Structure 1
């Protein structure tokens, strides 16, 4: 009888945009309530993840109160939870506010996989860029453990998504990123947040994934800022020992929510 393959189970939540206020809103949506609704979906799967990834813009206002709230909500998980910054976050406040230093690790080895977490945020800028130190770390880690499959995670999108306004605030030095990753066949997945919508494509054999926000969604293929009417969501990912990937997005369609569809920015 063939040995049953073990899947490494990951949950990605992103762009929760919490505020210090309990009733804090983003474009008319209470972001704490929408995050709760998404986490209820995760609980309902009754599949304990091996890792939870929180891929940036966890706070809208960069406040300690927002990060304390997020940490408290993540305490439901028995597995490690890894965080990193998005453009709305304050990395100094984030790292000082959170009690669990393991939340900010740069590399994690799990079974047959290596996960590398990079910081694409640029202080006081909306666009992203990987600093030279981050690129060096990436190259060093790709040189090691080449018997492992690799997933690389950060906040900003490294490819154009046919959404003009968002594509101006993506990862500015994506060419430098790909100049490195294209050299290594054991890179299997690149995962990000930021775009508040689902994305799933393949580039040079690498699965390229983005995930809906746990709050407001952005309308795909829009020229200018536009809000979508889709529900908040998260992504589940299963990584196999042979390097294969299974993934899908789940949305909180069970809740009623209000979004300011007329907004011109956030």
Structure 2
């Protein structure tokens, strides 16, 4: 059995005030909670910063300092890939192995666009990764939603070609769930038995939820996946 934590959409900026909230203080509150939980990894699913500046990544690293577990990150549409790599290059990944599970990252970011897209090359690489995965079970993580959110969220800002992604995912029954951020809300969907899980933001939600939060996962050796969204008053 393994545990990991997913946080998303931290939106750390040079100034603490971002989107009418103090994203620095809010993330620090989340970190205070994270350090009390048993965890084998921390996964940040994009939009680590708001404007991708070098200083914002340094500030993010400073806020995350109390976390002793391994940290893994993927880029979101607000991130700058070069500045992200400069500060978090050792945390970028293609695949994380946790016990019987592989967590595989898909790049869904389009340069200069809010919505996501998975290229043919990325899909081909994903298909090969899944074919050659020695893990019993797989998880997929990307930044953008892959299903309609059924909320106030504008689905035009989600993944533009989810049908292309599902054409690959449907070939691999070892995939137990797909995780994402970007929509700043907590939600779960089911598509033909596949769990699809949205992670809330550590900065602010886009719906009526006034708390900040993250997802805490338990991965069992028999393929079961449990998780709980942990909420914190901002």
Report the 3-state secondary structure (helix = DSSP H, G, I; strand = E; otherwise coil) of the residue aligned with 1:142: helix
* Equivalent pair of 1:182/1:204 in contact (CA under 8 Å): no
Question: Gapped runs of 5+ residues in structure 1?
Answer: 1-6, 220-227, 256-266
Matches within 5 A, 1:1-266: 7-21=1-15, 24-43=16-35, 46-96=36-86, 98=87, 100-145=88-133, 147-163=135-151, 165-219=153-207, 228-253=208-233, 255=234
Q: Distance in 2 between matches of 1:49 and 1:13?
A: 13
Question: Gapped runs of 5+ residues in structure 2?
Answer: none
Deviations 1:101-136 (A, max 9, x none): 331111122210011011111111000011222212
Q: Bigger CA drift: 187-196 or 100-109?
A: 100-109
Q: Bigger CA drift: 143-152 or 203-212?
A: 143-152
Aligned pairs, number: 234
* Equivalent pair of 2:216/2:228 in contact (CA under 8 Å): yes
Deviations 1:38-91 (A, max 9, x none): 111222xx3331111100111111111111121222332222211111111111
Runs of 4+ in structure 1 deviating by more than 4 angstroms, as ranges, are none
* Equivalent pair of 1:214/1:233 in contact (CA under 8 Å): yes
Report the 3-state secondary structure (helix = DSSP H, G, I; strand = E; otherwise coil) of the residue aligned with 1:168: helix
Length-normalised TM-score, structure 1: 0.84
Report the 3-state secondary structure (helix = DSSP H, G, I; strand = E; otherwise coil) of the residue aligned with 1:76: coil
Match of 1:4 in 2: none
| Structure of larger gyration radius | 1
Length-normalised TM-score, structure 2: 0.95
